[in-house]
Amino acid sequence: MASKSAITQTQLAKATGVSQATISRCLRGDPAQSASSCTRIRKMAQKLGYVPNPFASGMARERREKNPTPSSSLAIIAGNPHYDPLKMEPEIQQLVSAARDQANALGYSIEYFWRYNPELAGPRMAKVIKTRNILGLFLLHLSQEELNVPWDQFSIVLQNPTDHSPLFHHLTSNRFQSTQIALEECQRLGYRRPALLINLADDLNRKGEIMNLGAYMAYSHLLGDAARIPPFDRNQSAKEFGLWFKKYQPDVLLGSGSAPLPVPCGFKIPQEVGYVSLSGGKSPVRTGATYVGDRMDVMGSTAIDLLTTQIHRHERGFPTHPRCVVIAGQWHEGSTTLRQRSTSPIQRS
């Protein structure tokens, strides 16, 4: 407990020329206060020997936790020039819902914007964000070029950055681990000859495809030579796919999307060959395919944790050391795989 002679917040307010409420907010790290004012107040508090009363601080904290009041705003801004993701994609709905719940639990309000909403064209988006006192931005599939805002005024978290995205703190799906999960689950189902379909020409998903490939190649080294199958490039023709399939005879295929190839190849799924989608997007969910899906709820809540941490530390703009949080997917067994009769152990070289 502070002694009776210790300086109080009221006395500190008089010494700095601000209100006692401002003193209280700055000393507890309220992000709504300016960083310069809070720095000046902390220096004066240290100079005068201010010691916080732990009992009073604990009571105030308990009141805030029981009755959180949104004092600052956050924004989720989604890309996709073709349609509003929140209206069309259940996965984005799940992500936004989890982010909103986490923001409200931490005492923040949160708003959603579609970057390509005609009503927010041109400089209007930046104006709306500024007038609504938004401190943090959670960007969904947006590059720096798609959004013209003063980046140094906001705390920022980016989801699934592309090769051209700025170096903000970001979250991404752990495609490497998700592919490992898919391979292990296929083994559990009895499949013994997994094969990977890749598309490294896809600019938007190249990073994910590379991680899929890395996990598959690492796993293939555990297989015997007879079971080791080279990946197939999805950009090749259906005829080449048929020749590859006949030569290597995989019993389960892994790849992005809801089907092995856009062109029907005459193979029956899952009777002749199983299929597992590694994308976790809306297509496998809607078609009932077996897939490894992204944990959008975890991604949404984690993004808000990263964002509010930056806000409380008064970190704005491009960070010196960007952090990346990777989130593993979750296995969903659907109609494109069968439980095989074979129970023989996997062969290892």
Q: Are residues 158 and 13 in the same domain?
A: no
**pTM of this prediction?**
0.68
* CATH at 323: 3.40.50.2300
pLDDT digits (tens, 9 = 90+) for 220-256: 888 777 778 999 998 888 889 889 998 999 999 998 8
Q: Are residues 266 and 302 in the same domain?
A: no
Q: Quick check: is 343 in a domain?
A: no
Sheet holding 134-140, edge to edge: 108-114, 72-78, 134-140, 155-159, 169-173, 324-327
Q: Look at the chain and report how many structural domains it folds into.
A: 3
- Report d(CA 251, CA 271) in Å as an integer: 10
In Å, how far from its chain's centre is CA 103?
15
User: Residue 133 contacts by C-beta under 8 Å, 6 or more apart in sequence?
Assistant: 32, 72, 73
Q: Is the distance from CB of 250 to CB of 194 less than 8 angstroms? A: yes
Q: Tell me the CA distances in angstroms from 9 to 43, 49, 61, 231, one per residue in order.
A: 14, 11, 16, 67
- Report d(CA 326, CA 342) in Å as an integer: 34
Q: Quick check: is 3 in a domain?
A: no
Which residues constitute the domain of residue 235? 175-294
Length of the chain (residues)? 349
Q: Are residues 114 and 48 in the same domain?
A: no
pLDDT band for 143, please (50, 70, 90 cuts): confident
Q: Quick check: is 112 in a domain?
A: yes
Q: Are residues 258 and 213 in the same domain?
A: yes
Q: Are residues 18 and 60 in the same domain?
A: yes
Residue listed under structure tokens 């007879």: 226
- Computed over every residue of the chain, the mean pLDDT equals 81
Q: Quick check: is 212 in a domain?
A: yes
Q: Quick check: is 161 in a domain?
A: yes
Structure token pair of residue 123 = 């400089």
Q: Are residues 82 and 155 in the same domain?
A: yes
Q: Are residues 86 and 143 in the same domain?
A: yes
Q: Quick check: is 250 in a domain?
A: yes
Q: Are residues 125 and 88 in the same domain?
A: yes
Where a domain ends, among 50, 66, 82? 66
- Residue 113 pLDDT: 94
Angle (CA) 125-127-131 rounded to 5° is 120
pLDDT digits (tens, 9 = 90+) for 166-188: 578 889 888 899 999 999 999 99
In Å, how far from its chain's centre is CA 91?
12
